[in-house]
């Protein structure tokens, strides 16, 4: 391997993210319990979120709008403005959530700094991701921050072009096989999957990955042994 750039996914790779979405979803379902069962609410919300991705992109603000749309749909447009207000508050609480770094992250960044160019490659809302990076105290470790609207082959190719490296000089680390691993392998880069205990349904894939440029690690600290 001749890795020059080590890129990190942010949500559920550097810090906790998905549990806050699940927590808000639970509270959302409790608010709307009179209109539908928990299962129906979860299914409807996921469907509306996915349908809205192309319009809103990833992130909390799109999630808030999707929760409101779901509330209107399941209530036959009778949901109270008070409940809508509570849904907006749920989203604002998520936006103001303190950053909780995952174990080992700071150690790994300190070990790799100086040996590789370190990059953050994330999707989501630009303002929110910038705020989280600032609050994380990690920003000084990184040479470049890339917030993509979608983590696909084309956007990873743009990233390596911007970094002026060849595909096989990139190693991407992340918790999503769909977003952090498959597109990077597709363009000829290296990828390490560090699973997180909760994965959003939309990020889950069934494929088994068989590629010599792919590794799976139990924790982010294990990455140090692979490099």
* Binding-site ranges for Mg ion (CB under 5 A): 9, 11-12, 175
Cβ at position 213, least distance to Mg ion in Å: 20
Cβ at position 8, least distance to Mg ion in Å: 9
Cβ at position 143, least distance to Mg ion in Å: 20
Element at 148 (helix H, strand E): strand 144-148
Per the listing, tokens 């996914």 go with 9
Angstrom distance (rounded) from CA 148 to CA 122 = 6
Minimum CB distance to Mg ion smaller for 11 or for 125: 11
Cβ at position 140, least distance to Mg ion in Å: 21
What is the per-residue burial (b if ≥16 Cβ within 10 Å, else e) of 116-129? bbbbbbbbbbeebb
Cβ at position 9, least distance to Mg ion in Å: 4
Minimum CB distance to Mg ion smaller for 8 or for 28: 8
Angstrom distance (rounded) from CA 13 to CA 7 = 11
Minimum CB distance to Mg ion smaller for 9 or for 25: 9
- Sheet arrangement for strand 117-123: 144-148, 117-123, 5-8, 170-174, 190-193, 214-216
Q: Are the beta carbons of 182 and 152 closer than 8 angstroms?
A: no
Minimum CB distance to Mg ion smaller for 67 or for 181: 181
Minimum CB distance to Mg ion smaller for 41 or for 193: 193
Minimum CB distance to Mg ion smaller for 68 or for 173: 173
Q: Are the beta carbons of 198 and 186 closer than 8 angstroms?
A: no
Cβ at position 5, least distance to Mg ion in Å: 18
Query: HSE-up of 213 (CA within 13 Å, CB side)?
Result: 21
């Amino acid at each position: 391997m001749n890795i020059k750039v080590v890129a990190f996914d942010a949500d559920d790779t550097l810090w906790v993210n998905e549990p806050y979405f699940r927590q808000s979803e639970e509270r959302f379902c409790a608010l709307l319990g009179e209109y539908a069962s928990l299962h129906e609410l979860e299914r409807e919300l996921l469907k509306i979120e996915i349908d809205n991705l192309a319009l809103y992109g990833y992130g909390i603000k799109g999630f808030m709008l999707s929760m409101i749309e779901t509330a209107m749909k399941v209530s036959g447009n009778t949901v109270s403005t008070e409940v809508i207000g509570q849904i907006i508050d749920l989203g604002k609480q998520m936006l103001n959530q303190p950053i909780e770094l995952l174990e080992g992250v700071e150690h790994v960044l300190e070990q790799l700094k100086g040996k590789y160019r370190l990059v953050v490659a994330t999707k989501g809302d630009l303002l929110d991701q910038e705020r989280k990076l600032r609050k994380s105290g990690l920003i000084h470790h990184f040479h470049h921050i890339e917030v993509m609207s979608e983590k696909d082959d084309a956007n990873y190719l743009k990233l390596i072009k911007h970094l002026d490296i060849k595909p096989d000089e990139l190693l991407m680390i992340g918790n999503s096989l769909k977003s952090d691993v498959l597109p990077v392998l597709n363009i000829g880069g290296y990828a390490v999957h560090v699973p997180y205990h909760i994965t959003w349904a939309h990020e889950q894939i069934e494929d088994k990955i068989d590629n010599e440029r792919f590794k799976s690690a139990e924790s982010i600290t294990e990455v140090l042994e692979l490099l």
